[in-house]
Structure 1
Amino acid sequence: MKEKQHVYWSKVILQEWSLHLAATAKGLCFVGSQNGPFAELSNWFARRRPGHVLVQDHEQLAPYVAEISEYLQGARQQFSLALDLEGTPFQLSVWDALCRIPYGQTTTYSEIAAHIKKPAAVRAVGAAIGANPLLLTVPCHRVVSKDGSLTGYRGGLDMKTALIALEKGSLARGMQHG
């Protein structure tokens, strides 16, 4: 019988932010929605990574908590920690494209589809973005509709709005000090 793999989890709590995080030995594999319940994390693992056992371990997650806390304070624009993403080749290409959207900027679903050389796959791009397990670190909040309006986000539109405002505000503060 195959031994169950451990997935370590913890929680970032910072002002109005409370996020569940999970990581394997390979890297960060889940970032939950703002003030989301533990069930969001456990249900995701039951569906997407059966055979894994969740183990609370604040020490194991400390480097991830630190970088996400810095990001939420406007002090970090890029993440440097390892990621453990599992998905189809199409999903992985979309998630890679998301990571190339510059901090504080937005792009559209059709621009992502064009970037991955699948211009007709706009809906599939939307589905791949919706399946992104790493909110914040794989910045799907930077994707908007063609007319610039905010559309679906696993963390909810309030969280998406807050993240876009955080990045734009952080850039504006940086310009004032630079």
Structure 2
Amino acid sequence: MTESQHQGTHHVVHQTPLGTMHLAASAGQLTGAWFVGQLHGAREEDLGPRVEVADSPVLAQAVQELEEYFAGQRTEFTVAVRPEGTDFQLAVWEALNEVPFGFTTTYGAISKQVGPHAPAQAVGQAVARNRLMIFVPCHRVIAADGKMTGYSAGVEKKRFLLDFERPGEQESTLF
């Protein structure tokens, strides 16, 4: 069955250096990228039927881009994404997309960016609900004191991603 024959959401399972991920798409856009077992992970209704990568151009592109990322050949993703959330969550995720490869930011910096009086804790909750792990780089957010804080896929995965994006370099933080 080709993607054009899939009217709803469909998914593939993909192995990464950090573990198994579910990648979901609908209407030619990536709608989810979750690690198996993560907090706020994929629910059955988020995935739809499992398909072959070759049957879904958007999922094939997402897989290819992930492989290029982990091979050190890609620093930005171009696959079409469709995040789903509240207006506040969407604003936070858009701010995450502005943090370039190799840099980090803080929850407080994002709270100032997304609106007046947005508490850093609310930003943290929105970051934790990111449905597009790696593609929307929530791993690039750290505490104001530079400490590694929660990551819905596990702090060890966050540390890996940050170290991977900054091999042998000093930390670069955007504020």
Query: Under TM normalisation by the shorter chain, which class is it?
Result: 0.7 to 0.9
Alpha-carbon separation, structure 2, partners of 1:93 and 1:125: 10
Show CA shifts across 1:113-161 (max 9, x none): 0111234421111111011000100000000001111111111011101
The answer to whether the 8 A contact 1:8-1:57 is kept is no
Alpha-carbon separation, structure 2, partners of 1:77 and 1:128: 23
More helix by share: 1
Unpaired segments of 5 or more residues in structure 1? 173-178
Once the two structures are aligned, what percentage of the paired residues are identical? 35
Show CA shifts across 1:71-112 (max 9, x none): 111110000110011111110000000000011111100000
Alpha-carbon separation, structure 2, partners of 1:141 and 1:151: 10
Alpha-carbon separation, structure 1, partners of 2:13 and 2:69: 15
TM alignment of 1:120-139, pairs within 5 A: 120-139=118-137
Task: Give 2:64's aligned amino acid.
Answer: A
Query: What does residue 141 of structure 1 align with?
Result: 139
Identify if the C-alpha distance between structure 1 residues 42 and 112 changes in structure 2 by more than 3 Å, giving closer, same or farther.
Answer: closer
Do structure 1's residue 82 and structure 2's residue 84 form an aligned pair? no
Alpha-carbon separation, structure 1, partners of 2:71 and 2:117: 36
Unpaired segments of 5 or more residues in structure 2? 1-5, 170-175
Identify if the C-alpha distance between structure 1 residues 108 and 37 changes in structure 2 by more than 3 Å, giving closer, same or farther.
Answer: closer
Cα RMSD (Å): 2.3
TM-score, normalised with respect to structure 1: 0.81
Query: What does residue 176 of structure 1 align with?
Result: none
Secondary structure, counterpart of 1:32 in structure 2: strand
Count of aligned positions: 160
Secondary structure, counterpart of 1:54 in structure 2: coil
Task: Give 1:68's aligned amino acid.
Answer: L
Identify if the C-alpha distance between structure 1 residues 146 and 81 changes in structure 2 by more than 3 Å, giving closer, same or farther.
Answer: same
Identify if the C-alpha distance between structure 1 residues 6 and 57 changes in structure 2 by more than 3 Å, giving closer, same or farther.
Answer: farther
Alpha-carbon separation, structure 2, partners of 1:23 and 1:163: 23
TM-score, normalised with respect to structure 2: 0.82
